[in-house]
Amino acid sequence: MDRQTVTIYDVAREAGVSMATVSRVVNGNPNVKPSTRKKVEEVIKQLNYQPNAVARGLASKKTTTVGVIIPDVTNLYYSSLARGIDDVASIYKYNIILTNTDENLEKEILVLKDLLTKQVDGVIYMGHHISDELHAQLESVPTPLVLAGSIDQKGILPSVNIDYGAAMKDSLDILFENGNEKIGFVYRSVDEEIDSQVRYGAYKEAHQDHGLPVDDNLVFTSSNSYKDGQNIYDQLISNGATAAIFSDDEAAVGFLNAAHDNGLQVPEKFEIIVSNNSKLVNMTRPQLSTVLQPLYDIGAVSMRLLTKMMNNDEVEDKEIVLPHTIKKWGTTK
Amino acid sequence: MDRQTVTIYDVAREAGVSMATVSRVVNGNPNVKPSTRKKVEEVIKQLNYQPNAVARGLASKKTTTVGVIIPDVTNLYYSSLARGIDDVASIYKYNIILTNTDENLEKEILVLKDLLTKQVDGVIYMGHHISDELHAQLESVPTPLVLAGSIDQKGILPSVNIDYGAAMKDSLDILFENGNEKIGFVYRSVDEEIDSQVRYGAYKEAHQDHGLPVDDNLVFTSSNSYKDGQNIYDQLISNGATAAIFSDDEAAVGFLNAAHDNGLQVPEKFEIIVSNNSKLVNMTRPQLSTVLQPLYDIGAVSMRLLTKMMNNDEVEDKEIVLPHTIKKWGTTK
DNA sequence: CTGAAAGCGCTTACAG
DNA sequence: CTGAAAGCGCTTACAG
């Protein structure tokens, strides 16, 4: 049960040098005579010495660990980001402490405190509702912090996203071009700024630009599950929609299946574009036309940004916008 | 940038007690006079003192952090386990360091070493191929370790699973009862012991029990993606199968959609049962009949087991088998 | 290029 | 119930 049998002290003694010297070779400090470096390295190998990261953390004030706050790992959108984050973290020798919050404010605040207590070198936050209280907490974090796939309406916190508004307009352009005039917009929650502010804002603007009225009977504000997608089917259809944009893939799948059950042909009689390309979009029949969000990259770039900040490197732009495209699969004409 | 302004020393001075006493109240040690406890607590609040977990870790040799090795967070099966793990960890005040390995042996070994270096109090391993080399590494881990949703053929390592063999037999029983005699078995990889040993073994046994021959033309050994599921469609059908059991949900969805594209009616002409109930099973039309695996619970129970082991509690059974059922959705008669 | 010493912020016997 | 002191295993100036 002795977790840490051999310490730096053992290596020093065995190699006939001081702990400082051992520390230097372990940390790749160049100021070590090649022959003594060699000797120390041999002893390290021989004793199978593994530096204790906790002791290093205490002494150096760097833990090479970053905290990652995620609503739910089980959500494909977020787990795709998380994968990008972990892969880049791994490249830069960081580990990730991942914690699920379900976007519950109390939990988020608790987790944040907890992570700081553990002396993480940085934190990545994911979540689509940043209340003023949460924003204040996020701002007061003493370590570098970046938002991944999450926007800061106040434009203060570093973040990595796509241009959700532009993506909305691109999607609408396709649907308008195909002759649709009554286009639904089905989003997750009024609490999610990306939906209720950015996308909905772009939705309205695009309608104005095309000289079309905005019909709020076609806008659904709390559909974030398969079941919700099924449930809104009747209303969307009876209100005359001939197309719809979904923020949530699962809701879109629910709607699509409801359409199938009701014998409504997609895309012939109804077109659909979803906003988050998760794996799901390719698993339906027809496959869902989608905004191609570089989810993995958003996570990866977020972590890369964070490493720069942790390293005190100059960072020109702290509000990174990655490119998107629209992929017309089978639910658009 | 001062991450740790106020220390236990500041609190001690301010409260007019020793560091030891502050430590006692922070750790809930009962041997503190109520009045001095109160005083210390006031100062803690006033100074907003947050104990440094790294220093605690070094001094106490407990980091309240566990390592979680996962093939891919993006995989619904594993992320469901991970969610259960994190929730229970959170209850017991542990954090989770999550690392993706893609089941790559080198990465797994590296990660394991890395986690131990960080002095995790325990580790949870997920992965479906435990080679002898990996097994040796896993066994030599000095902290408690449990396998979640992963089996140890050698029966040495603590683990939490369902009885995959029994689930296979239950699934086959349904298909046999419905009159099928040529039933395919589509699994992920020969490297995955759950598939190639346990499920395939049960598959053969069940056939023998029913006096039916095993036709290896109906067994596919490397289908773990949507595309794979589509690709095997022709062979499975031309070899006369009238039903199939899939280990991988995505592959099953691929097959199902291929069937749809080819006008083959499911379940009328072809029945399907999948082995892992991820969210996906409810998102297809028809919905996939499935073995109901308590994925969240497997993760949760694994973490609970681990807490007991880390706490040196008596653990009666270290090979936990959780119950499963079969849910007949729409792909069985 | 190398070592002695202090210090990181706690916990843990030990003594009283 | 409380404190003094040692120690956890490193890193970091500092001095040479």
Dmax of chain A from CA atoms? 84
A307 CA, D16 C1': Å apart: 37
pTM above 0.75, yes or no: yes
Any idea what DSSP says for residue B33? Answer: -
B14 and B47 in contact (C-beta within 8 Å)?
A: yes
| Model confidence pLDDT, tens digit, residues A158-213 | 999 999 999 999 999 999 999 999 999 999 999 999 999 999 999 999 999 999 99
Residue from the list A4, A100, A257 with its beta carbon closest to the beta carbon of B83: A100
CB count within 10 Å of CB A237 equals 19
What is the per-residue pLDDT across B185-226, written as a single tens digit (0 to 9) for each? 999 999 999 999 999 999 999 999 999 999 999 999 988 889
- Helical (H) or strand (E) element with A296: helix A295-310
Residue by residue, DSSP assigns A201-238 as HHHHHHHHHTT----GGGEES---SHHHHHHTHHHHHH
In sequence order, the 6+-apart residues with CB closer than 8 A to the CB of A82 are: A68, A70, A73, A96, A98, A126, A299, B73, B74, B98
Res B2: pLDDT: 44
Q: Among B149, B141, B147, B144, which residue's Cα sits nearest to residue B167?
A: B149
Interface size between A and B, measured as CB pairs under 8 A: 148
Residues in contact with A249: Cβ distance below 8 Å, sequence separation at least 6, in sequence order: A76, A77, A274, A276, A277, A278, A280, A281, A288, A290
pLDDT at A280: 82
Residues A220-248: pLDDT tens digits? 998 888 899 999 999 999 999 999 999 99
The two tokens of residue B223 are 């289908």
For β-strands B95-100 and B145-148, DSSP reports them as unpaired
Q: Judge whether A6 and A48 are in contact, CB under 8 Å.
A: yes
Phi, psi values for residue A128, rounded to 5°: -105, 10
Residues A54-106: pLDDT tens digits? 999 999 999 999 999 999 999 889 999 999 999 999 999 999 999 999 999 99
- Give the tens place of pLDDT for each residue, B248-307: 988 999 999 999 999 999 999 999 999 987 778 888 888 999 999 999 999 999 999 999
Beta bridge pairs of residue A161: A321
Helices A76-91 and A295-310: angle between axes, nearest 10 degrees: 40
A120-155 tens-digit pLDDT: 999 999 999 999 999 999 999 999 999 999 999 999
Paired strand residues for B146: B124
CB B53 within 8 A of CB A117: yes
**Residue A282 banded pLDDT, cuts 50, 70, 90:** confident
Residue A246 C-alpha, separation from nearest chain B C-alpha, in angstroms: 16
* Residue B61 touches chain A, beta carbons under 8 Å: yes
Q: Which amino acid belongs to residue B136?
A: A
Q: Which residues of B touch A280 (CB under 8 A)?
A: 280, 283
Work out the average pLDDT over B113-120. 96
Q: What pairing do the DSSP bridges indicate for beta strands A325-327 and A289-292?
A: antiparallel
Quick: pLDDT tens for A312-332.
898 889 999 999 999 999 999
Q: What is the mean pLDDT of chain B?
A: 94
CA distance A224 to A232: 11
Residues 193-252 of A with CB under 8 A from B: 226, 250
Give the DSSP letter string of B218-264. Answer: GEES---SHHHHHHTHHHHHHTT-SEEEES-HHHHHHHHHHHHHTT-
Which chain B residues contact residue A50 at CB under 8 A? 113, 116-117
* Tokens describing residue B210: 């029913």
Per-domain residue ranges for chain A? 8-51, 65-162+295-324, 164-293
- Joined together, the tokens standing for residue A66 give 């970053």
A58 touches strand D (CB under 7 A): yes
pLDDT over threshold 50, residue B3: no
Q: Which of B2, B97, B117 sits opposite A51 (nearest CB)?
A: B117
Tell me what the mean pLDDT of segment B129-138 comes to. 96
CA B258 to chain centre: 30
Which residues does residue A322 pair with via DSSP β-bridges, in sequence order?
A162
Please give the Cα distance from A3 to B96 (Å, whole number).
19
Instruction: Look at domain A8-51 and name its CATH class.
Output: mainly alpha
Which nucleotide is closest to the Cα of B61 by its C1'? Answer: D8
B21: pLDDT strictly greater than 90: yes
How much is the pLDDT for A224?
Answer: 86
pLDDT at B155: 93
Q: For residues A198 and A151, is the Cβ–Cβ distance under 8 A? A: yes
How many helical (H) and strand (E) elements, i.e. helices and strands, does chain B have? 14, 12
Mean pLDDT within A108-116:
97
Question: What DSSP designation does A239 have?
Answer: T
pLDDT digits (tens, 9 = 90+) for A253-281: 999 999 999 999 999 999 999 998 777 88
Rg, C-alpha atoms of chain B:
25
Question: Looking at residue A287, what DSSP letter applies?
Answer: P
Protein-to-nucleotide distance from the CA of A14 to the C1' of D15, whole angstroms: 25
Is the fold of B65-162+295-324 the same as that of B164-293?
yes
Q: Which is nearest to A111 in space by CA: A65, A70, A79?
A: A70
Asked if the C-beta of B54 comes within 8 angstroms of chain A's C-beta atoms, the answer is yes
- Exposure b/e, A104-134, CB count within 10 A at least 16 = b: eeebbbebbebbbbbbbbbbbbbbbbbeeeb
CB A219 within 8 A of CB A271: no
Q: How confident is the model at residue B170 (pLDDT cuts 50, 70, 90)?
A: very high
CA distance A188 to A208: 23
pLDDT reported for residue A134 = 97
Residues of A in Cβ contact (< 8 Å) with B115: 95
**Domain B65-162+295-324 is found in CATH 3.40.50.300:** no
Structure tokens at A77: 């959108």
Residue A57 CB closer than 7 angstroms to strand D?
no
Residue type, A128: H
Rg (CA), chain A: 25
What pLDDT band is residue B316 in, cutting at 50, 70 and 90?
Answer: confident
D3 C1': nearest CA residue: B18
Cα–Cα separations (whole angstroms), residue B30 to A274, B23, B59, B158: 57, 11, 20, 35
Please answer whether residues A325 and A290 qualify as being in contact, where contact means their C-beta atoms are separated by less than 8 angstroms.
no
Q: Which two tokens stand for residue A22?
A: 């051992």
Give residue A3's pLDDT band: very low, low, confident or very high (50, 70, 90).
very low
From the candidate CATH numbers 3.90.180.10, 3.40.50.150, 2.60.40.10, 3.40.50.2300, the one assigned to the domain spanning A164-293? 3.40.50.2300
- Give B163's contacts (C-beta < 8 A, 6+ positions apart): B321, B324
Residue B57 contacts A, CB cutoff 8 Å: yes
